[in-house]
């Protein structure tokens, strides 16, 4: 193994991503290409591992991609055509696995990046699944439930022969939930004639879903955070945190972190009416149930009601500047950048990435130089897919575990993955991100070699 990880200046490309949930609209938004970022992260560690050129060539691109149109008859009688994607990055270790996002700024390159990160995510927690991701360019805020159902059914009609329990297994992600999964499953089963509960995860409990799946991603973030705090010799009750995002991941991460004794002083979320994000702050600590009672199902907090309850309303990026020990970005990709990384308070000790790809490489380098312990996305947020794997196992047995059993198994998986990454990071003097990559890429490369692909 080479001794050090090469770090080079990178051109992040020109893909234009206008403001997204969790990010306030800025002057000229610096454009980031998530796929180029994912490839750059891969290249750096492939070099460190001394991977042969063919394996690099195989792993730095997806194996397969599907791009398609989804025509939907809207409630007003008109027909609107939505664009959909499914990208299968790698299935050497098992069927492709990964969510489907509904987002107005979805791009094929973002889906490519996310599919690649799913491959590493499944590998780092050592579950027998590969990486895939799907998306539809749409904004569910502006769609009725019937229209969303038609998008779900249309999406799976386009890929029904290229996905399945043994090939590629979808799940919920940004702005999709268990109801969307059930519509997709139902359409798949209509097409194939039979019951295939192992085809999709994140199903409703009672319809093949697993207890604990809703909580799993957020709880998983906090399982790794808890271990990081132990390593640093910090008691959770002596810490405060600021969270970006208030969707499924953020909500359950806050719940468990508060149960450990931590205090969340700020959360940010997207405001659909103003098309920008705001940070809601209460220095005494936010009351989760109170905020949940004024939050819509997209994780949007009602501004006026929050003010009435005594929350300070700050600009969207203020979550990053808070004087806390812990930052949890749990919204979208490319949120901590070279432009705002220096706003992170000197008090911050840990960044736990609940979102996929929230930190750009430029910011990553500075975070490492400042000695902040960063728990990388595909380790920190692997709880969701790990529980998806448990859901598949339970679906296949047609026997469902108690919630405690699911969460206990999840804790074990997350904690042992954290230890393995942390141990390698210390031993080889790698950042936690590079150590997680080294373990994951090593496992996937071995699977490709053992199968005789490269
Ligand atoms: N969408 C989640 C993720 O990014 C879960 C994926 C899954 O369960 O397959 O990890």
Tell me, in angstroms, the distance from the centre of ligand 1 to residue 374's CA. 20
Ligand 1: centre distance to CA 292 (Å): 23
Considering only the C-alpha atoms of the chain, give the largest distance between any 2 of them, rounded to a whole number of Å: 63
Q: Is 80 a catalytic residue?
A: no
State CA 328 to chain mean position distance: 12
Pocket test for ligand 1, best of 98, 185, 220 (most atoms within 8 A of CB): 98
DSSP H or E segment with residue 134 = strand 131-137
pLDDT at 235: 98
Give residue ranges with CB within 6 A of ligand 1.
97-99, 121, 171, 173, 201, 356, 381, 384-385, 388
Q: For residue 408, what are the contacts with CB-CB under 8 A and spacing of at least 6?
A: none
Looking from the CA of residue 389, the nearest atom of ligand 1 is 8
Residue pair 7/367 in contact (Cβ under 8 Å)? The answer is no
- How far does the centroid of ligand 1 lie from the alpha carbon of residue 450, in Å? 26
Token pair, residue 293, equals 């009672």
Q: Measure Cα distances from 260 to 239, 323, 407, 429 in Å.
A: 10, 20, 16, 30
d(CA 417, CA 391): 19
pLDDT at 214: 96
The residue assigned the tokens 């051109």 is 11
Q: pLDDT tens digits, the chain, 454 residues: what are they?
A: 333 333 333 333 333 333 334 444 444 456 899 999 999 999 999 999 999 999 999 999 999 999 999 999 999 999 999 999 999 999 999 999 999 999 999 999 999 999 999 999 999 999 999 999 999 999 999 999 999 999 999 999 999 999 999 999 999 999 999 999 999 999 999 999 999 999 999 999 999 999 999 999 999 999 999 999 999 999 999 999 999 999 999 999 999 999 999 999 999 999 999 999 999 999 999 999 999 999 999 999 999 999 999 999 999 999 999 999 999 999 999 999 999 999 999 999 999 999 999 999 999 999 999 999 999 999 999 999 999 999 999 998 999 999 999 999 999 999 999 999 999 999 999 999 999 999 999 999 999 999 999 9
Where exactly are the structural domains of the chain? Answer: 1-195+430-454, 214-375
Show the beta-strand stretches assigned E in 228-273: 240-244, 263-271
pLDDT value of position 13: 35
Q: Which atom of ligand 1 is nearest to the CA of 114?
A: 4
Stated as kind and residue range, the H or E segment containing 147 is helix 145-159
Question: Looking at residue 31, what is its pLDDT?
Answer: 81
DSSP for 10-78 reads -----------TTS---SSPPP--HHHHHHHHHHHHHHHHT--HHHHHHHTS-SEEEEEEEEEE-TTS-
Which CATH number is associated with domain 1-195+430-454? 3.40.50.10860
Mutate to test the pocket of ligand 1, among 171, 178, 329, 382 (most ligand atoms within 8 A of CB): 171
Residue of 121, 133, 203, 282 marked active site: 133
CATH topology of domain 214-375: Rossmann fold (3.40.50)
Check: CB of residue 199 under 8 Å from CB of residue 188. yes
Specify the pLDDT at position 12. Answer: 37
pLDDT at 30: 67
pTM: 0.93
Determine phi and psi for 233, rounding to 5 degrees: 70, 30
Task: State in Å: Cα 392 to ligand 1 middle.
Answer: 13
Same fold, 1-195+430-454 and 214-375: yes
The atom of ligand 1 lying closest to the CA of 172 is: 1
State the distance from the centre of ligand 1 to the C-alpha of 361, rounded, in angstroms.
Answer: 22
For ligand 1, what atom is nearest to the CA of residue 101? 1
């Amino acid at each position: 193994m080479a001794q050090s990880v090469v770090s080079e200046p990178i051109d992040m490309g020109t893909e234009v991503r206008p403001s997204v949930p969790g990010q306030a609209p800025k002057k000229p938004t610096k454009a980031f290409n998530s796929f180029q970022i994912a490839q750059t992260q891969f290249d750096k560690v492939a070099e460190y591992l001394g991977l042969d050129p063919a394996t690099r060539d195989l792993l730095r691109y997806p194996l397969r991609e599907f791009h398609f149109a989804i025509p939907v008859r809207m409630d007003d009688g008109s027909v609107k055509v939505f664009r959909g994607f499914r990208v299968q990055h790698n299935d050497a270790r098992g069927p492709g696995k990964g969510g489907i996002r509904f987002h107005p700024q979805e791009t094929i390159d973002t889906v490519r990046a996310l599919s690649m990160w799913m491959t590493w995510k499944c590998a780092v927690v050592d579950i027998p699944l590969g990486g895939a991701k799907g998306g539809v360019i749409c904004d569910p805020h502006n769609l009725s439930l019937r229209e969303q159902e038609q998008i779900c059914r249309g999406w799976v009609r386009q890929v029904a022969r290229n996905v399945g329990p043994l090939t590629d297994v979808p799940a919920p992600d940004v702005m999709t939930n268990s109801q969307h999964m059930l519509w997709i499953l139902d359409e798949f089963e209509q097409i194939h004639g039979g019951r295939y509960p192992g085809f999709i995860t994140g199903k409703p409990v009672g319809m093949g879903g697993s207890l604990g799946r809703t909580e799993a991603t957020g709880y998983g973030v906090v399982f790794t955070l808890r271990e990081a705090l132990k390593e640093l010799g910090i008691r959770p009750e002596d810490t405060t945190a600021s969270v970006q995002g208030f969707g499924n991941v953020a909500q359950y991460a806050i719940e468990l972190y508060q149960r450990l004794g931590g205090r969340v002083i700020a959360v940010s979320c997207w405001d659909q009416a103003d098309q920008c994000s705001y940070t809601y702050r209460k220095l005494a600590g936010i009351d989760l149930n109170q905020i949940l009672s004024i939050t819509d199902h997209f994780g949007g907090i009602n501004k006026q009601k929050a003010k009435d309850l005594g929350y300070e309303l700050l600009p969207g990026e203020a979550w990053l500047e808070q004087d806390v020990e812990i930052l949890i970005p749990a919204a979208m990709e490319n949120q901590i950048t070279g432009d705002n990384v220096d706003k992170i308070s000197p008090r911050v000790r840990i960044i736990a990435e609940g979102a996929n790809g929230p930190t750009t490489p430029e910011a990553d380098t500075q975070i490492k130089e400042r000695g902040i312990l960063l728990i990388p996305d595909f380790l920190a947020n692997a709880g969701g897919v790990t529980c998806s794997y448990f859901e598949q196992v339970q679906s296949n047995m047609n026997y469902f575990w108690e919630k405690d059993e699911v969460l206990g198994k999840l804790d074990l998986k997350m904690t042992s993955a954290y230890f393995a990454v942390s141990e390698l990071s210390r031993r080889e003097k790698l950042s936690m991100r590079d150590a997680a990559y080294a373990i994951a890429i090593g496992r996937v490369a071995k699977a490709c070699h053992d199968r005789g692909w490269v």
